[in-house]
Amino acid sequence: MKQFDRDRLLTMQKDSIDLLLTHQHPSGSFVAGPHFSQYMYCWLRDSAYIAYSLLLAHETESTERYISWAAQILEKNEEKIKRLAILILQNSPLEDRDLLGARFSLEGEDDQTDWPNYQPDGYGSFLWLVTQYLEATNRQTIPLEWEKAVSLTVQYIVLVWKLPSSDCWEEFPDKHHVSTLACLAGGLRAIAPYLEREEKETACTTETAIRTYILAHAEKEGYFPKFIGSSFVDSSLVWLSTPYHVFESKHPFMEKTIDLIEAGLLHKGGTQRYTEDTYYGGGLWLPLSGFLGWHYVETDRLEEAENLLGWIVAQGDHLGHLPEQVTTFTNNNSMISPWEERWGAIACPLLWSHAMFLILHFKILQYNSKGEKKYEKENVPR
């Protein structure tokens, strides 16, 4: 590995694990940002990666507790999912409250505020997380207590994948977001081998339909757009390949998408969300830099992965806390203070940033210890 300040790296690893464990609520949920008023919820998206990072850190019990928490939410919403199926069948107009939320109170209650909450990506990520847990614990079958939740999640994704939604940033509520579709297809693809016949077939058919839909709506120039009908990219498009393997990294559209992310969104060592972003100015996001670094590990670009890891570590404050984003490069500096006035300083620590630091660090360590091409198995060619 490159010459990092090793002590700093190891301290941050230990402190990050402690931080994530400390902020796991007794219910099993994880708060997104413990000191940021708007982030006192548990997002299924953030938490899938938080729980995965703890799995890599061998904190398996913590991951289990989180999955059980999310499973309870799914079960609690069984009636809502059944009702949704009827509404869709009847072609009835849908409201946000007919759909499942992206975030919940730490006790698992619905968020009743009017902040856009219909962003289904986290349900795909949940399925993927379950499969990562099964692999890590050498289980061939889904534990009985999670079976129903998994099945409900599959049903839910089958129902909603064609509906417009907000993206993973709570924005553009009436679009079809490609990185959201990546999570949904990726979750189905990961869970399918663990399902029984009919359900497995449904999962596989839907995954194929989503992939076909994404391909059919790719840009003529050969890349995947942020949402269907847009021409610009978003760094979250990395999810199409890492970790969800909906398209292999060598797929020409995937390669071009990564090229565009690098050309337009990678600045001063970190990654922006998208070029129009003005949230706190539209700075460099630590979670996304972690995903890009992880993608570099999977594509044998180790030096660039290490550079991103080094950049993330360097963003730690005097306590080693990692923020959501930094404003050393922004799209619009004049938009920093309006957000500060509205919601206070940028969220720090953000648990998702710590999780992505841990994941990237562990992936680099695994790559170095197991040798190159470790990820070929997961990269099933399409």
Nearest of 313, 297, 308, 289 to residue 369 by alpha carbon: 297
Of the pair 43, 146, the CB lying nearest ligand BGC is at: 43
Does 352 sit near ligand BGC (CB under 6 A)? yes
Of 287, 293, 366, nearest to 16 by C-alpha is 287
Helix axes 144-160, 197-216, angle to 10 degrees: 40
SS3 content of the chain, % helix, strand, coil (to 5): 55, 5, 35
Q: Which stretch binds ligand BGC (CB under 6 A): 39-47, 185-193, 262-270, 304-312?
A: 39-47
Tokens of 77: 């919403």
What does DSSP assign to residue 1? -
Pick 242 or 249: Cβ nearer ligand BGC: 242
The site that binds ligand BGC (CB under 6 A) totals a number of residues, namely 10
Contact (CB, 8 A) for 24 and 351 = no
48 vs 134 by CB, closer to ligand BGC: 48
- Torsion angle, alpha carbons of 35, 40, 46, 47, to 10: 110
Contact 357, 12 (CB under 8 A): yes
Q: Which pairing describes strands 270-271 and 266-267: parallel, antiparallel, or unpaired?
A: antiparallel
**116 versus 320: smaller Cβ distance to ligand BGC:** 116
Q: According to CB under 6 A, which one of 4, 169, 213, 253 is a site residue for ligand BGC? A: 169
If one asks whether residue 32 binds ligand BGC (CB under 6 A), the answer comes out as yes
**CB of 260 or CB of 350, closer to ligand BGC:** 350
How far is Cα 181 from Cα 176, in angstroms, rounded to an integer? Answer: 8
- Residue 168 engages ligand BGC in binding (rule: CB under 6 A): yes
Residue 12 as a binder of ligand BGC (CB under 6 A): the answer is: no
Q: How far is the CB of 268 from ligand BGC (least distance, A)?
A: 21
Indicate the residue among 23 and 45 with the shorter CB distance to ligand BGC: 45
Q: 227 — phi, psi (to 5°)? A: -135, 165
CA quadruple 197, 205, 153, 127: dihedral sign: positive
* Site membership for ligand BGC, residue 156 (CB under 6 A): no
Q: Of 14-22, 40-48, 154-162, 332-340, which segment contacts ligand BGC by CB under 6 A?
A: 40-48
Q: How far is the CB of 33 from ligand BGC (least distance, A)?
A: 6
Give the one residue of 78, 96, 110, 170 binding ligand BGC; rule: CB under 6 A. Answer: 170
**Options 45, 176, 245, 251; binder of ligand BGC; rule CB under 6 A:** 45
Specify the residue, 252 or 344, whose C-beta has the smaller distance to ligand BGC: 344
The answer for residues whose C-beta is within 8 angstroms of residue 3's C-beta and 6 or more apart is none
Q: Please compute, for residue 243, the number of CA atoms within 13 A of its CA located in the half-sphere on the CB side.
A: 23
Nearer to ligand BGC, 116 or 143 (CB): 116
Which segment (163-171, 240-248, 312-320, 367-375) binds ligand BGC by CB under 6 A?
A: 163-171
Binding range to ligand BGC, per CB under 6 A, among 17-25, 38-46, 307-315, 326-334:
38-46
φ, ψ of residue 110 to 5 degrees: the values are -65, 150
CB 181 → ligand BGC: shortest distance, Å?
16
The reply to whether 19 sits near ligand BGC by the rule CB under 6 A is no
The closest alpha carbon to 237, from 168, 325, 330, 326, belongs to: 168
What span, in angstroms and rounded, lies between the C-alpha atoms of 75 and 50?
22
Tell me the closest approach of the beta carbon of residue 37 to ligand BGC, in angstroms.
12
User: Does residue 46 interact with ligand BGC by CB under 6 A?
Assistant: yes
Applying CB under 6 A, which part among 74-82, 165-173, 196-204, 290-298 lies near ligand BGC?
165-173
Question: 3-state class of 6 per DSSP?
Answer: helix
- Contact residues: ligand BGC, CB under 6 A: 32, 39, 43, 45-46, 168-170, 350, 352
